[in-house]
Amino acid sequence: MSSADIYREIILDYYRNPRNYGKIENPDISERDSNPLCGDELEMHINIKDDKVADVKFTGKGCAISQASASMLTELIMGKDFEYVKKLAKEDILDNLGLQNLGPARIKCALLSFKVLKTGIYTYLVDNLKDTESADKMKEEVSGIY
Amino acid sequence: MQTSFINIEDIRNDFPILKRKVHKDKPLVYLDNAATTQKPIQVIEAISNYYLTYNSNIHRAVHELAEEATLAYETTRDKIAKFINAKNREEVVFVRGTTEAINLVAYAWGRQNINKDDIIVTTEYEHHSNIVPWQLLAKEKGAKLEYIGVDDNGELILDHLDKYLQTGKVKLVAFSQMSNVLGTITDSEEIVKRCKKYGARVLIDGAQSVPHLKVDLQKLDCDFFAFSAHKMLGPTGVGVLWARKELLQNMVPFNGGGDMIREVHKYETTWNDLPYKFEAGTPNIADVIGFAAALDYLDKIGMDKVREHEMELTKYALDKLSQMKGIVLYGPKDVTKRGGVISFNLGDIHPHDLATIIDEDGIAIRSGHHCAQVLMERLDVSATSRASFYIYNTKEEVDVFVKSLNRAKELFKL
Ligand SMILES: Cc1ncc(COP(=O)(O)O)c(C=O)c1O
């Protein structure tokens, strides 16, 4: 992808004015990860109520791609059914960002927040829902993200 | 295509890779030399010639190939000793690189000589390879690790060193002769002088200095010195640890095995002479031989010329860059105090985004923490972009680089 296609108005806008930026006190899901290669950092907090995402926030540091994609991901899942969020695939995320053809180095930036989300869901499935079967599937999915 | 000091056109012709295009049709502008440099054809041919015509193991066999290989390998040692003005060839130990050299010292000297409550001093602008081994050693021994700070000009605050030395507990001071992020050239002779007064040993990381400055170990008067071949036209996988003979003699071996022994009995072994005591196993023969060709190449140009060329290029680049709105440049402004490494941030463009954008124009720079996270913390940034020069870079390439930065600014609407 050319830079002009990557750094579109919308990506820059979410990078400079991130939506849902911040923390939730005592969240149901709290997960963080970093990309040691770039030093991108990301932490995501989620509250689940009535099987829906009642609230989601993120904090982080890093490149425009990683930060904008995190912010857009929070918007994508806010208020949605937990089942829907569980089933989200990485293609959905890249489609949502309009970044389907990123190279191997930068795709990690775009999917860091997605990896954090899925890892958080995994922990939630294990600790709160005791749903080991779904958790195992989720674990496999996480290791296949990149 | 000249600076006043070297004929770049001739030099560029020796580097086949500089003829390639990237992103289909963009000439490669390689500005990531602090990470690793390109290799001239002379180095590539020295390596392939070894494999094609006299490949064999060294030191043990008596056949002709082995004699040729041993001679070529050992001649490199002589060339290195001369290049850095070491007194004795047996003080030159081949290792994999700077990282291994420093770890060797931490293991083979540090564990015998650093004790509880001793102090190891390093600096805020070190590469992780000159921090982590000391952290490990300090933890193991209950010793303390202290840092010489960096001032706003990117230079070391030597008062900090004095403060630690005055405790009388400093056993080792380890620092880089040139910062791989700021380009700052350390006042190494001054540091060594101060350390001597207090009997502290000195290790110098020469990974960035040996490729770009004339290094004279007799003048430096340090105790340990480490550098890597791949940052000075040589192949990867070869580095040098130089240490004073009397220190090497008293150090325990780092690796045990073939080549490093004199006699092996069931329960006792006596060590081989220096430097072989520290070169266990079959070494990286081909690349050591390739390194000799790199040293010859630099010798032919002359390290004074290399330095002058880079100063001129760095000044040219700094003058252009400092005129850009929104740029933050790190490190000394005075090119006599720095090497050809320029770290910067441009507006709110994250270095990874910047590197992606200018890569499209064929420009290779580095972005990130440059294995210097302690320094990133000191500068209060998570990352910087870094352009670094070598003998084959031109002012025209600097112009292409600056033009590309302006394109990035436009994309980010700055
Ligand atoms: C100042 C400095 N020290 C140490 C190193 C490590 O060198 P190597 O990776 O060759 O062991 C580097 C290179 O990255 C460096 O720039």
CATH for B23: 3.90.1150.10
Point out the ligand 1 atom lying closest to the alpha carbon of residue B236.
Answer: 10
What pLDDT shows up at residue A138?
87
CA distance A139 to B25: 43
Helix (H, G, I), strand (E, B) or coil at A71: helix
Chain A interface test: which of B346, B349, B352, B385 (most A C-beta within 10 Å): B352
B382 touches chain A (CB under 8 A): yes
Q: Are residues B69 and B209 in the same domain?
A: yes
Spans of all domains in chain A: 3-117
Domain assignment present for B58: yes
- Residue B84 corresponds to which amino acid? I
What ipTM describes this predicted complex? 0.91
Q: Is residue B38 part of a domain?
A: no
CB-nearest partner of A39 from B349, B360, B383: B383
Instruction: Mark which of B281, B299, B317 sits at the end of a domain.
Output: B299
Q: Are residues B177 and B289 in the same domain?
A: yes
Q: Is residue B35 part of a domain?
A: no
B383 touches chain A (CB under 8 A): yes
Cβ contact (<8 Å) for B413 and A3?
no
Are B360 and A2 inside 8 Å of each other by CB?
yes
Is B394 touching ligand 1 by the criterion CB < 6 Å? no
**Domain containing residue B126:** 45-299
Nearest-CA neighbor of B339 among B218, B120, B181, B196? Answer: B181
Share of chain A above pLDDT 90, in %: 77
In a domain, B2, yes or no: no
Q: Are residues B20 and B49 in the same domain?
A: no
B37 in a structural domain: no
Mean pLDDT of chain A: 93
Please tell me the predicted confidence (pLDDT) of residue B3.
66
Instruction: Catalogue the E-assigned strands of chain A.
Output: 29-35, 40-49, 52-61
Give the single-character DSSP code of A14: H
Judged against a pLDDT cut of 80, whether residue B325 lies above it is answered with yes
User: What is the tally of structural domains in chain B?
Assistant: 2
Q: Determine the average pLDDT of the residues in A74-92.
A: 95
* Mutual angle of helices B64-83 and B285-301, in 10-degree steps: 40
d(CA B271, CA B249): 10
Q: Do the domain assignments include residue B149?
A: yes
Cα separation, B181 vs B330, in Å, equals: 8
Long-range Cβ contacts of A102-107 (<8 Å, 24+ apart): A102/A1, A102/A6, A102/A65, A103/A1, A105/A37, A106/A6, A106/A65, A106/B352, A106/B356, A107/A146
> Which of the listed CATH numbers 3.10.20.30, 3.30.365.10, 1.10.10.10, 3.90.1010.10 matches domain A3-117?
3.90.1010.10
> CB of A117 within 8 A of CB of A83?
no
- Exactly one of B41, B261, B364, B371 is catalytic; name it: B371
Quote the minimal CA–CA distance from A36 to chain B in Å.
10
Helix (H) or strand (E) holding B329: strand B327-329
Q: Select from B353, B382, B383 the Cβ nearest to the Cβ of A7.
A: B353
Q: Which pLDDT score, from 0 to 100, does residue B260 have? A: 85
- Is any ligand 1 atom within 6 A of the Cβ of residue B176? yes
Q: Is residue B39 part of a domain?
A: no
Q: The whole model's pTM is what?
A: 0.94
